[in-house]
Copies of this chain bind each other. A is one copy, B any other.
């Protein structure tokens, strides 16, 4: 399972609580690997049991107490090993692409409407990613190695959104005439 390793990766820099991690998985790392808080809390307990993480309860004033998880040496070793092993790419599954196969058989109007919505989503994502790049990753070559890796992940996001955006425009242009008639 790779969720465990994604979590450990997020803990490389500093110990975090499940709540923190859940937010991490909604931004940064989450752009490329989504996980719900239910998944995260469950996985954290599993990893702590296995000895890859260490849990520490932290009492807080002004807010509910929390449990902070830190990477153990064993976890660190497992992570290294995972990085050295083969990767799995699970391609995106997109209803919309399947629906395109139905154009001509079903009404294309909702598909076009969906494309327009998605266009906006890609615009927003792209703007966000570019803002992050401009703020933190202006000159990739002068970054320390770790940041270069993160930069590349971000770059994948940017390129992906650019491509998806352009494709949406092209698709709308081609299908709009069908939807109007």
Interface residues of A (CB under 8 A from B): 2, 5-6, 9-10, 12, 29, 32-34, 79-80, 82-108, 110-111, 114, 118, 140-141, 144-153, 155-156, 159-160, 162-163, 166-167, 170-171, 174-175, 178
* A5 and B83 within 8 A (CB): no
Q: Which 7 A-B pairs have the closest CB atoms?
A: A104-B146, A103-B149, A104-B145, A87-B95, A100-B149, A92-B92, A83-B106
Q: Contacts A105-B146, A114-B86, A149-B103 hold; do A97 and B140 have CB atoms under 8 A apart? A: no
* A9 and B98 within 8 A (CB): yes
Show 26 residue pairs from A and B whose CB-CB distance is below 8 angstroms, ordered by the A residue. Answer: A2-B95, A2-B98, A9-B98, A32-B92, A33-B94, A33-B98, A79-B106, A80-B106, A80-B107, A83-B106, A84-B107, A89-B96, A97-B156, A98-B153, A100-B152, A101-B150, A101-B153, A102-B149, A103-B145, A103-B146, A104-B146, A104-B148, A105-B146, A141-B174, A155-B167, A160-B160
